[in-house]
Structure 1
């Protein structure tokens, strides 16, 4: 089968690799028809993780079931499914508590959580390929309604970025009628803004300096704050009568840059503390890692950031963090799409064949204008 393979920093290629296949009775084999490039793929693409050379990318996957293991009884051949990026077993302590991002069965030893094509998260190849093996298929496959082909670009977003954006707002504690500020207008930040709109936020502010992304934020009714033109904290304060937003979301992560292009890993976290009101809540879904050999400072290389803990404590704010437990949200988000209440595909800028993945990675990584979200189509 063809697959997108990591050769080293800034170097991916579409190669022929051995076909994915059923390995255990609980497995499902899926023919992938849509697979997204995610912002978190770029950390690995840039060599800022220990993603191994020869690994296959791709954790946002949609396709058709073509084979099932002997122990699978819910999922059938021919079903159209979207796969949560986190791989859970369904029966460990964390999965039973709804914390599928921290599965204890599928993880590497000493870790919690597994994912397709992701550094340190198990030995599972990704789905930027023609075929994908899905462990514990009955648990991990989300069955889709009859409009799945028609709305394929929407449903594939349920693999990761739509639930992750939703998760950011839940970690922050958003309630209807509250204001929220979101740092980062990449795909996840836009999904957090979109989720906040669906949940009834009275004001959604989005901070970024990429004009194409800010235009998308405005297209759903959010207030765009261009931090290359204004101080974002001052602007949030002005918009909230000096009080600060009720809630805030960090949707950038450890490779945060200012508008001059300087990498400042703690910038968005400290801006959020200053942008969110006393006793407000902050949700952090941007990726932060325990170590970053490519970090710009000694602290960053050790996975640490300068953080204004004193002000956070003084303001009585709470912070929720961690990868999204996709299965906690994916059925509800699927149903919002099915009835027409949500169309997350508004962020998609490019539909490309799998063979064009190397150019897509390059353009997406360089944040070139108009490259907001890429869906690759194998076959």
Structure 2
């Protein structure tokens, strides 16, 4: 089969590789019809993780079931399914609690597994023609009959839409809240969408990329352009000096200041400043245990100079970590099915798999207008 392979920093290629296949009785084999490029893929693309060369990338996947293992009894051949990026077994202590992002079975010695991702198990990614899905009955979200018409909406259920929603859950967003979101990339835009769905009275989205801020404004959010480094002041002015009721971090450890210099603690400390006393912060931007490629000495060890004194003094609280996609994807799927939301509005490019290397390069450079890329292996 054809698949996008990681060769090394800034080097990916579409290669012929051995076909994905059923390996265990509980597996499902899926023919991929849509696979997104995620901002998290760029951490690996840039060589900022311990991703091994030769691995297939891609953790935001949707397709058609073409084969099932002998122990699979719910998912059927021909079903259109969306796959949560985090692989769960369904029966460990964490999966039983709905914490499928931290499955204790699929990645021995660690908590959590994922497709095509550094440090999250040996699983191949889905930026390929076919994908093996472990524990298929548990991990496959079977889509409704109209799913083909809305495929670019439903593929967002694999990661970016639930992750944005998770940010608002971690932040405790409630109806009537003022919410500040750092990052107008796909996850930040989905967090703004989720906050709006929950009835937030005011959603402020902070970024320096004007094309992404325009998308936030189209959603009904207030764009905060931090190009001049005055975003904190703008947010405080919009909240009568009190700060937002809660906030979401949707950027992560490669956050940059107005000079395009990496400052890994910038968004975290800005949130401490712009969220009110006793407010809550939800962090879904990726922060890693180590980042050897960082310029900052602390960041190399996975640490940041966090303004904990002010955080403590203000009595703020925080929730962190990757989304437990299965906790959200079924109900979010219903919103898509009944036309309450269409997350595909963030899609800027729909491309064949063969164009993936060029797409990675453009997306990584944050070229104007490159917001969300959907790869179509069948085209």
Question: Could you say which TM-score interval applies, normalised by the shorter chain?
Answer: over 0.9
> Tell me, what secondary structure is at the counterpart of 1:363?
helix
> 1:281-311 CA deviation, whole Å, 9 max, x = no partner?
0000000000000011211100110000000
Q: 5+ residue gaps in structure 2?
A: none
Task: Output aligned runs, 1:73-84, within 5 Å.
Answer: 73-84=73-84
> 1:209-237 CA deviation, whole Å, 9 max, x = no partner?
10110000000100000001451111111
> Tell me, what secondary structure is at the counterpart of 1:148?
helix
Task: Output aligned runs, 1:56-67, within 5 Å.
Answer: 56-67=56-67
Task: Output aligned runs, 1:147-186, within 5 Å.
Answer: 147-186=146-185
- Moved segments of 4+, more than 6 Å: none
1:28 is aligned to: 28
Task: Output aligned runs, 1:2-21, within 5 Å.
Answer: 2-21=2-21
Q: Distance in 1 between matches of 2:296 and 2:62?
A: 39
1:103 is aligned to: 103
Q: What is the root-mean-square deviation of aligned Cα atoms in Å?
A: 0.5
> Tell me, what secondary structure is at the counterpart of 2:220?
coil
2:324 is aligned to: 325
Q: Distance in 2 between matches of 1:229 and 1:147?
A: 46
Q: Distance in 2 between matches of 1:195 and 1:269?
A: 21
> 1:182-229 CA deviation, whole Å, 9 max, x = no partner?
000000000000110011000000000101100000001000000014
2:335 is aligned to: 336
1:378 is aligned to: 377
Q: What's the TM-score once normalised by structure 1's chain length?
A: 0.99
1:260 aligns with 2:245: no
Q: Distance in 2 between matches of 1:296 and 1:223?
A: 33
The answer to whether the 8 Å contact 2:228/2:258 transfers is: no
Q: Distance in 1 between matches of 2:279 and 2:146?
A: 40
> 1:158-183 CA deviation, whole Å, 9 max, x = no partner?
00000000000000011101010000
The answer to whether the 8 Å contact 2:164/2:187 transfers is: yes
Q: Distance in 1 between matches of 2:106 and 2:258?
A: 39
2:289 is aligned to: 290
Q: Distance in 2 between matches of 1:273 and 1:71?
A: 49
> Tell me, what secondary structure is at the counterpart of 1:163?
helix
**Paired residues, number:** 378
> 1:132-156 CA deviation, whole Å, 9 max, x = no partner?
0000000000010011000000000
> 1:68-105 CA deviation, whole Å, 9 max, x = no partner?
00000000000000000000000000000000000000
Q: 5+ residue gaps in structure 1?
A: none
> Tell me, what secondary structure is at the counterpart of 2:145?
coil
